[in-house]
Structure 1
Amino acid sequence: MEEKMTSGEFANKAGVSAKALRIYDEKGLLKPVGYSEGNYRLYDKSSLLILEKIIALKHVGFSLEEIKSSLEDDDNSSIKDTLKKQLEMMETKIYEMQKAAQCIKTALIRLEEDPNWDDVADTIKKMEMGQGADERRWFAQSHAADDVEWYEKIWDSMDFRGGDQVLDLGCSYGLLWRENLKKFPENFKVDGYDLHGTWADDLVSDMDSIKANIPESSDIKVYFEDLEKDETWDSIPKEKYTKIIAHYLILYLNDPEKFVEHVSKVLREDGVFSATYCNTSAEHDFWEQEIAEMGLDNSFVKKRRKYLDDKDKWLQDILESYFARVDRVRLPGPMRFDKSEELYDRLTRRFSACKKYLEDNKEIFCSYFDKKIEAEGSIVIDIDTVFYRCYMR
């Protein structure tokens, strides 16, 4: 007859507490194999094997519910898949922790003089939004469905020429410049502004190799300044720039109107200011139509579209009060998806306020897109971005 151990003996042998065993019992992870005459829980060698699995999974970050599910599906393939998913989750957590650490470093760099908690909160909020914007840019690049690089499209739409003096506000990693080095004309000067702790640090680090690939008469400089401070604008030469760019920036400013006013004072009379904001795009048409095809309520898409339209109208009114002419230029940037999970992730990011509704219907979304991808090979979403082009005359 196989030897059985009381919970106390079993806990000592396994190196866990008796309390942990009670919890595992209550949660249905590790039930006793029987009870003694004194109603003590009894365990055996098979119990020890199960406990070893629980300890291993708990050690690598599984919740008790996840452990229970894994034990119920105890075969090699499910264990492998479960561990892979857990690894992905942990890598995501590591990345999020690294981003949080970078926010703290950035706050320490920027807040040298007697900061208050409002300053700290605002700095970290802007840093997180900047990180999010950069992630979205890289995501769009990795899913591009046409043969033209996104920043080449922007370059070509800007009509850059030799002799241009360009002010790049929120220059970040400098993709507009990195992706078009061979197109740089003679005597083409760029002044980029951003904050420490962003991708602009990497732009500066790579500057020697960048400048080696542009004409000697051309130049790129980066200044680390806060564009929401008046003293920054006091140092920028008035009416010097033929082109001013604020792509993916205005949405994150506390006072967009004040920013636009500053821009209007440093743009030449014959210059152009290019900016982006909220932007309702053809992507909203896609989601509205597809969700209706699924037989689900698509009112959240319409609500989001109206919200963004109203915000865009608000910014356009501001721009029209400082510039003689404001045009809306749409640049196409279609994205290709070949996995339903990626489409669902895109959907939840685009409409994060409806996350609960989307989670409740995830199976419907993924099943619908799985069938569509199987039939068509991939799904292309026609995504475009509005660029405001503002002229002094």
Structure 2
Amino acid sequence: MNSKKGKFYTAGKFAEKAGVTLRTIRYYDKKDLLKPTEYSESGYRLYSNQDFAVLQKILTLKFMGFSLEEIKVVMKEESDKADFKHSLNIQRHAIERKMEHMSHILEAINETEQMLDSEDTLDWDKFILIIKAINLEKISAEQFKNAANLKDRINLHEKYSTNKQGWHRWMFERIPILKGAKILELGCGDGSFWLRNKDRLPEQCEITLTDISEGMIEDARNNLADLDKNFTFKVMDAQNITFGDSEFDIIIANHMIYYVQNREKVFSEVDRVLKSNGVFYAGTNGKKHMEELFNMVENFREKVTFSYIRKNHKFKLEDGKTQLEEWFYPVQLYCYKDSLKVTEVEPLMDYVLSAPGNLNEILNEKDFKELEELFRNIIENEGYMYITKDSGVLEAKKR
């Protein structure tokens, strides 16, 4: 599309040309980082060639670990030319850092190859070194486990839940915490569980928050910085808990077990680091959780799926108790009664775009506008969109 002001791209074409998802463009628009240059008469977002430089800077600073708020400040402070030059300079350093990391992987591969040629006995530590190096790069690049997506999903529940107590405060009341207890949280996310209960945190407790995502840990540390409590933060995989045997009185895993590839390894590790009278609390969802929303979006277009959440959900309210009883006893299920009555379209779109699925691969800008209109019609006709919530917590005591 061309005009007197130059060439313009729809959001979908702009995203395709830049090699990013449409969700990314929409999200940066929402955060006032990358606003459209213009809007078409039909209301479509239009972006110019100059917007590629803006997007490059956002992605570069994000890669370097800047928060979106920090990126916004940096972008406001610099002029266009200096801005672009600074972005290129940062990108150069980022690439140099990645090249250094890849050289470590290459070095490990070369050493292993030499070992295979010259030694009769295999040194398996060499293979482990390669795996660790590659996994470190994979984890660093993994964008799914970031706080922005998590916040979009949490915000929908906090704003439109019919149960005004809230999930985090309800779950906290299921966990009797004694003075001086040692507590470990697996998959802590951005620390919301503790932030929502800041007015009743236990005295003299040692609370260790862990997550496989370094970005999540950084957000949790920032969110809890003003609380006068003994928090420790650690990047850690729940499948490989780096603590000694019998260290913790309480271990919490809030809506994260179903993301783990090897649940048995997690249960084994939890059992190992729990004290003899320790308790493991695992929050999860049931089959009916968010079913109205997921069904509607999956039926909206062929091949759209939330299979990562639905079909691949291997730790549900319906089967979680049986799985835990292989390692712990007794196991008690507590169900949380709640639902959603959503009265706005944008939070629904934010939720489905942040949830694991293939929307960004299947839907284009026109589809997203039609989906928004579908949500809008339901809300206008019914007053709200009703969505079932099916959540609970499993209390598992060490045998």
TM band (smaller chain): 0.5 to 0.7
Secondary structure of 1:263's counterpart equals: helix
Partner of 1:307: 311
- Inter-CA distance 260–175: structure 2 relative to 1 (3 Å threshold): same
Partner of 1:221: 231
Secondary structure of 1:264's counterpart equals: helix
1:1-393 alignment, distance < 5 Å: 50=3, 52-55=4-7, 57=8, 78=40, 81-82=43-44, 98-102=61-65, 114-115=104-105, 116=130, 118-124=134-140, 126=142, 128-131=144-147, 134-141=150-157, 143-146=159-162, 147-194=164-211, 197-205=214-222, 209-211=226-228, 219-227=229-237, 233=242, 235-236=243-244, 238-276=245-283, 279-285=286-292, 287-288=294-295, 307-308=311-312, 310=314, 312=316, 317-332=322-337, 334-340=339-345, 342-343=347-348, 346-347=351-352, 352-353=357-358, 365-393=371-399
8 Å contact kept, 2:342–2:385? yes
Work out the CA distance in 2 between the residues paired with 1:178 and 1:80: 43
Identity of aligned residues (%): 15
Secondary structure of 2:378's counterpart equals: helix
Work out the CA distance in 2 between the residues paired with 1:157 and 1:127: 32
Work out the CA distance in 2 between the residues paired with 1:200 and 1:336: 31
State the number of aligned residues: 318
8 Å contact kept, 1:102–1:197? no
Work out the CA distance in 2 between the residues paired with 1:367 and 1:330: 34
1:235-271, Cα deviation, whole Å (9 max, x unpaired): 33x3342221122433444433222101112223333
8 Å contact kept, 1:196–1:224? no
The code of the aligned residue for 2:159 comes to: H
Indicate the structure (1 or 2) with the bigger Cα radius of gyration.
1
Work out the CA distance in 2 between the residues paired with 1:154 and 1:94: 41
Unaligned runs of 5+ in 2: 18-37, 67-93, 106-129
TM-score (ref. length: structure 2): 0.60
Partner of 1:6: none
Secondary structure of 1:321's counterpart equals: coil
The code of the aligned residue for 2:160 comes to: A
Work out the CA distance in 1 between the residues paired with 2:203 and 2:301: 55
Give, in angstroms, the shift of residue 82 of structure 1: 4.4
Secondary structure of 2:179's counterpart equals: coil
Work out the CA distance in 1 between the residues paired with 2:276 and 2:325: 15
Secondary structure of 1:123's counterpart equals: helix
Give, in angstroms, the shift of residue 123 of structure 1: 1.6
Work out the CA distance in 1 between the residues paired with 2:390 and 2:379: 22
Work out the CA distance in 2 between the residues paired with 1:305 and 1:152: 24
Work out the CA distance in 2 between the residues paired with 1:301 and 1:229: 28
The code of the aligned residue for 1:334 comes to: S
1:182-210, Cα deviation, whole Å (9 max, x unpaired): 21233433222345732322444565620
- Inter-CA distance 179–94: structure 2 relative to 1 (3 Å threshold): farther
Work out the CA distance in 2 between the residues paired with 1:127 and 1:373: 32
Work out the CA distance in 2 between the residues paired with 1:339 and 1:264: 44
Secondary structure of 2:160's counterpart equals: coil
The code of the aligned residue for 1:388 comes to: L
Work out the CA distance in 1 between the residues paired with 2:204 and 2:15: 64
TM-score (ref. length: structure 1): 0.61
Secondary structure of 1:182's counterpart equals: helix
Secondary structure of 2:168's counterpart equals: helix
Partner of 2:29: none
Secondary structure of 1:269's counterpart equals: strand
Secondary structure of 1:270's counterpart equals: strand
Work out the CA distance in 1 between the residues paired with 2:292 and 2:331: 25
